[in-house]
């Protein structure tokens, strides 16, 4: 008697299609994820139970940390370039198209206007080193460049997007209140009485 042959079926599933789909999705998510600019200041933001998300355009972010250093971040490439042009006009510095392009992709910065050209020319590594030694944007009453930056940024946003600029403060949790107060006073001098503080979401609540 011939033995009945049991057909052996392979139990492994063809994963090819699944693999295709998952990599397609992966590519999509990687591309849509906004690359986060490294923060030159070592900032730990305090947490809160608020629920409103920070908008991602028409916003200026003031980073306060490292014993009174203030850095400023302009959001949006077009706004950055427009702000740079305005600042250049204010301080009689002209920027080349190359410098304007480089500034357009720059994240948070904290340099006095005098060394801005030098800062734009640096590569990423030099910038991090520079940021560690930098004292931030000068904001004392005699040489208030920070106020100028905010003012020109507001003008640029109003001109390009027809929207008011929102100012956000990203402060280090351990920063002393007087430093924050100094920055808020600069804002209030420009009649910015409403602003937001950037906090992280508090877990478990």
Partner 1 sequence: MAELDTSSGGGKKGGGKVRTKKANTKVDLTAMVDLAFLLITFFMLTTSLSKPIAMDIAKPDQEDNEVRNELRASQTMTILLGEKNKVAWYMGEAKDAKPVIESFAEVRRSLLKNKEEVKNKTGRQIVVVVKPTDGATYKNFVDIMDELNIAAIKTAPAIDDVNILDNEKQFMREGGILK
Report the residue number, 97 or 178, with the smaller CB distance to partner 1: 178
CA distance 106 to 103: 5
Report the residue number, 20 or 114, with the smaller CB distance to partner 1: 20
CA distance 17 to 24: 11
Which distant-in-sequence residues (6+ apart) come within 8 Å of 96 by Cβ?
Answer: none
Residue for token pair 């904001």: 139
Interface with partner 1 by CB under 8 A: which residues? 12, 14-16, 18-19, 22-23, 25-26, 29-30, 32-34, 36, 45-46, 48-56, 64, 168, 170-181, 184-185, 188-189, 191, 193-202
Neighbours of 171 (CB within 10 A): 23
Extract the tokens encoding 113.
């206007």
Q: Least distance from C-beta 55 to partner 1, angstroms?
A: 8
Sort strands 47-48 and 59-65 into parallel, antiparallel or unpaired. unpaired
Q: Least distance from C-beta 1 to partner 1, angstroms?
A: 26
Q: Least distance from C-beta 31 to partner 1, angstroms?
A: 10
Q: Least distance from C-beta 23 to partner 1, angstroms?
A: 5
Residue 9 burial (10 A CB sphere; 0-12, 13-18, 19+): exposed
Report the residue number, 148 or 179, with the smaller CB distance to partner 1: 179
Report the residue number, 45 or 160, with the smaller CB distance to partner 1: 45
Q: Least distance from C-beta 161 to partner 1, angstroms?
A: 18
Report the residue number, 3 or 191, with the smaller CB distance to partner 1: 191
CA distance 88 to 5: 86
CA distance 45 to 11: 52
Report the residue number, 158 or 173, with the smaller CB distance to partner 1: 173
Candidates 84, 88, 89; CA nearest to 102 is 84
CA distance 190 to 202: 32
């Amino acid at each position: 008697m011939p033995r009945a042959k049991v057909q052996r079926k392979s139990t492994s599933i063809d994963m090819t299609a699944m693999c295709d789909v998952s990599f397609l999705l992966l590519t999509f998510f990687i591309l849509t994820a906004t690359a986060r600019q490294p923060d030159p200041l070592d900032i730990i933001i305090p947490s809160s139970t608020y629920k409103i998300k920070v908008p991602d355009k028409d916003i200026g972010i003031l980073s306060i940390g490292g014993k009174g250093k203030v850095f400023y971040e302009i959001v949006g490439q077009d706004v950055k370039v427009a702000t740079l042009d305005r600042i250049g006009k204010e301080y009689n510095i002209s920027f080349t198209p190359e410098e304007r392009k480089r500034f357009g992709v720059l994240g948070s910065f904290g340099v006095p206007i005098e060394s801005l050209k030098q800062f734009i020319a640096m590569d990423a590594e030099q910038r991090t080193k520079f940021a560690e030694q930098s004292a931030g944007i000068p904001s004392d009453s005699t040489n208030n460049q920070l106020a100028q930056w905010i003012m020109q940024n507001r003008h640029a946003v109003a001109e390009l997007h027809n929207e008011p600029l929102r100012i956000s403060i990203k402060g280090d949790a351990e920063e002393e209140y007087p430093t924050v107060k100094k920055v808020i006073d600069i804002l209030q001098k420009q009649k910015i009485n409403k602003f937001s503080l950037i906090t992280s979401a508090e877990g478990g609540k």
